[in-house]
Structure 1
Amino acid sequence: MAELVKRHRVTLVTSNAWESKRLTHQYAWVPPGVELVSIQVPYHNKMGVWQRVKAFSDFALQAIRKGKEIEKPDVVWGVSTPLTTAWAAARVAKYHQVPWVFEVQDLWPSFPIQMGAVPWKPVQRELYRLEKNLYQSASHIIPLSTDMGRYIQELGIAPDKITTLVNGTDIPATPVSASAKQALLHKLGLEGKQVVLYAGTYGRANDIPMLVEAAKLLQDQPKLYFVFTGQGYDEPLLQEAAAVQTNILLLPPMPRHQVFTLFSLAAVSIVSFIDLPVLKANSPGKLFDSLAVGTPVVVTNAGWTKQLVEASQCGWYVPAGDAEALAATLVQQLGNEQELAVMRKNAASVAQQQFDRLQMVPVLEQIFEEVVGRK
């Protein structure tokens, strides 16, 4: 968005939930020049199903009202999740009689349905119907993984209406210095340790109990240390584990620039999810952040991320939920410094070649300009 606003007028309609989670004022959350329309809707990831439904509905209705009040745009860019956000974008676009582009960040409603949050068959059918209608009404669709794109095509959407832009990251202009890494290791009391890092949401889908169990199995490996930073549903579980297990360090959430330093000092990072079919298609941001600083990644999805780390030799795959396999993989792979060096080099290379967010901006601009031109 920071690049787009240099050449276009950009209005961002979003929830104000990010304000309570903002960890630093060192950087602007909203890029200069972007007009922010903030909607006050309470939301946190410990909410129950009905609380979330209310929050999603309140946001969608307010977003439609606010969207109708803004100066007429040339195109509307709707980003899921949840599906109600894309629905609101479609309604705003219809009101202004302009095209809209649907960015699919996660597959809804497949995700909440497979998580058991929507057990009612009639409701499921209506949500799937809404999903397909949104794909059909969008002028263009941008899924964030190849597996998502394949899923959308299988619903009968024309391939030329779909452009996959795999979720990317900001590639650091200069590598994190050895002195900065050493200073952070000293501050955290981790000098001489091989850090196994989990940075992200402690959600129900992230298989945090498996990571805790793997750490427990590795307490006889004094060099290996599990570091967690983030927040979410399973935070109490991690707090209990950190209090009794000798190889877990639980850190508070960190601003993005500090997380990059943490990734850079890790021997390996873990991007874990429970074993649900829909999660094989997802595009987790922390995977790309890790690769950007040359840190290999362990993934537990048997989808495209498994293919990526194995084909590019920038990480490893272990089956979801298998703590013993994760523990064995960490012992074996982190004991081979020569292979780790190759993995680090490959990780940085694949990030620069495939996941540099700046390289995606011209493609995104072209999509917007083409749909506007067709109108």
Structure 2
Amino acid sequence: MHILFLTDNFPPEGNAPATRTYEHAIRWVEAGHKVTVITCAPNFPEGQVFDGYKNLWYQTHDLDGINVVRVKTYITANEGFVKRILDYMSFMVAGFFAGLFQKKPDVIVATSPQFFCACAGWALSAVRRKSFVFELRDIWPASITAVGAMKDSFAIRMLEKIELFLYCRADSIVSVTHAFKKELIERGIDGDKIEVVLNGVDLTKYEPALEKDIHFAKQYGLEGKFVAGYIGTHGMAHGLEHVVDVAERLQDHDDIRVVFAGGGAARQKVVDLVMKKRLKNVVLIDRQPKEMMPKLWSLCDVSLVPLVNSELFRAVIPSKIFECMGMGIPTIMSVPEGEATAIIRKTDSGLVVESEDVEQITDAILKLYKDKSLYQRIRVNSIAAAPKYSRDIMASDMTTIIKKHVN
């Protein structure tokens, strides 16, 4: 089976869409399938092409058996609605034309979070007369208005019409949460063609660390410290200003450090707030290569997983919780009650507090810092839960779905 997969995020980018696609694709290749990924020059989230790459019209290379095709796009940082739309639309056009030159695909798969990528996938499936599988990672454009990046408008309503068109035209929709599936059914989409494949963790890479990475711990002064870490994309949806407020409340605890590691649209806001408040207990680490993530995670005693208090985010499952399970790191989850909080409670792999509640987040950190038996119990539960969310299982489930639509 030849799977033609369109995504505008792919390694060496290290965000959730890039990681999911890569970790699925290498397993499909190992299972004997041919995989071609059409993507762009790596640039997320800063909007700067990574070292060693160029933004060229058409270039190919092999990555662990995956045939990677990179196309030229309009590149911008992960901020600003108009520029991001231009970025997305340029990939839609370039990705579509690149897809026309790929030999004998059996099925076309395209992933969100933005659906212009899916537009290219649908158009290719129509031209090449192959089935179209839409991997749904986010309810977009609703997430734009949820974080206040844009108010409801004619443009948003037009995007919603395109969104519904794609749902209807897809031969199959693979949702990353059960809540997304439920929402689509409520909006009139046939539930029989919606399958759920959660995110997961590559247990060959993420395993419990016996100690903090020596190099990173020494470099950032974290030796012997209890570390509460926010690791990942710094986006508007995460409400990281509240985590800075948490750090301010923890200033008198010299053994505790709050770490922010990553980049994104809200990164500078975090940096500015830390400087303004003159916080000495905050460590800022720039975005690291994906292969360094297990070492970066090893610095953390607890993982902070926040989202702003919006109804939309009840349906979101932050993928980092599965990596935390693999590493045996307890999660402090401050997101609206929903599927993600249910997973943490069911697995007893962390503490759940109110979204945007600075006092509760602070208390949760102190609770795990002081109560060693509670901390150890949650750590053990995290490790035990990880195999249930193995990327091996998720990749296999998605293969089964895709095979149903091979012409």
**What is the TM-score of this pair, normalised by structure 2?**
0.84
Change (3 A) 1:189 1:247: same
Equivalence for 1:9:
34
Q: Is 1:55 matched with 2:78?
A: no
Equivalence for 1:90:
122
Change (3 A) 1:70 1:172: closer
Aligned AA (2:286): P
Equivalence for 1:298:
332
Superimposed CA distance per residue, residues 74-126 of structure 1 (whole angstroms, 9 cap, x where no aligned partner)? 10011012111111100010000010111001111211132344435333332
Q: Is 1:247 matched with 2:271?
A: no
Q: Is 1:208 matched with 2:246?
A: no
Aligned AA (1:267): D
Supply the distance in 2 between the matched residues of 1:170 and 1:139 (Cα, whole angstroms).
28
> Among 225, 232, 243, which residue is 1:193 paired with?
225
Q: How does 1:1-375 map to 2 (within 5 A)?
A: 1-6=25-30, 7-18=32-43, 20=48, 22=50, 31-172=63-204, 175=207, 177-178=209-210, 181-182=213-214, 184-243=216-275, 244-301=278-335, 302-353=337-388, 355-372=389-406, 375=407
Contact persistence 1:176–1:261 (CA under 8 A) = no
Aligned AA (1:371): H
Supply the distance in 2 between the matched residues of 1:127 and 1:42 (Cα, whole angstroms).
20
State the identity as a percent.
Answer: 24
How much does 1:158 deviate?
Answer: 2.8
Contact persistence 2:207–2:328 (CA under 8 A) = no
Change (3 A) 1:21 1:337: farther
Aligned AA (1:51): K
Change (3 A) 1:24 1:219: farther
Supply the distance in 2 between the matched residues of 1:58 and 1:119 (Cα, whole angstroms).
24
Contact persistence 2:122–2:170 (CA under 8 A) = yes
Contact persistence 2:209–2:327 (CA under 8 A) = no
Supply the distance in 2 between the matched residues of 1:311 and 1:171 (Cα, whole angstroms).
20
Aligned AA (1:74): D
Change (3 A) 1:34 1:18: farther
Aligned AA (1:113): T
Q: CA RMSD for the aligned pairs?
A: 2.3
Supply the distance in 1 between the matched residues of 2:390 and 2:403 (Cα, whole angstroms).
21
Supply the distance in 1 between the matched residues of 2:92 and 2:254 (Cα, whole angstroms).
50
Which runs of 5 or more structure 2 residues have no equivalent in the other structure?
Answer: 1-24, 54-60
Supply the distance in 2 between the matched residues of 1:87 and 1:214 (Cα, whole angstroms).
41
Supply the distance in 1 between the matched residues of 2:141 and 2:69 (Cα, whole angstroms).
26
**What is the TM-score of this pair, normalised by structure 1?**
0.91
Contact persistence 1:194–1:224 (CA under 8 A) = yes
Contact persistence 1:139–1:371 (CA under 8 A) = yes
Change (3 A) 1:237 1:113: closer
Supply the distance in 1 between the matched residues of 2:134 and 2:206 (Cα, whole angstroms).
34
Contact persistence 2:233–2:263 (CA under 8 A) = yes
How much does 1:197 deviate?
Answer: 0.7
Runs of 4+ in 1 over 6 A off after TM superposition: none
Aligned AA (1:200): G
Superimposed CA distance per residue, residues 265-293 of structure 1 (whole angstroms, 9 cap, x where no aligned partner)? 42100111111222222232222211111
Contact persistence 2:211–2:298 (CA under 8 A) = no
How many residue pairs end up in the alignment? 369
Change (3 A) 1:174 1:92: closer
Aligned AA (1:3): R
Change (3 A) 1:307 1:30: farther
Aligned AA (1:31): L
Contact persistence 1:145–1:165 (CA under 8 A) = yes
How much does 1:22 deviate?
Answer: 5.0
Structure with more of its chain in helix, by fraction: 1
Greater mean deviation of Cα atoms: 171-180 or 272-281: 171-180
Change (3 A) 1:23 1:255: farther
Aligned AA (1:73): P
Supply the distance in 1 between the matched residues of 2:321 and 2:178 (Cα, whole angstroms).
15
Contact persistence 1:17–1:40 (CA under 8 A) = no
Supply the distance in 1 between the matched residues of 2:288 and 2:206 (Cα, whole angstroms).
20
Supply the distance in 2 between the matched residues of 1:319 and 1:284 (Cα, whole angstroms).
16
Supply the distance in 2 between the matched residues of 1:43 and 1:110 (Cα, whole angstroms).
23
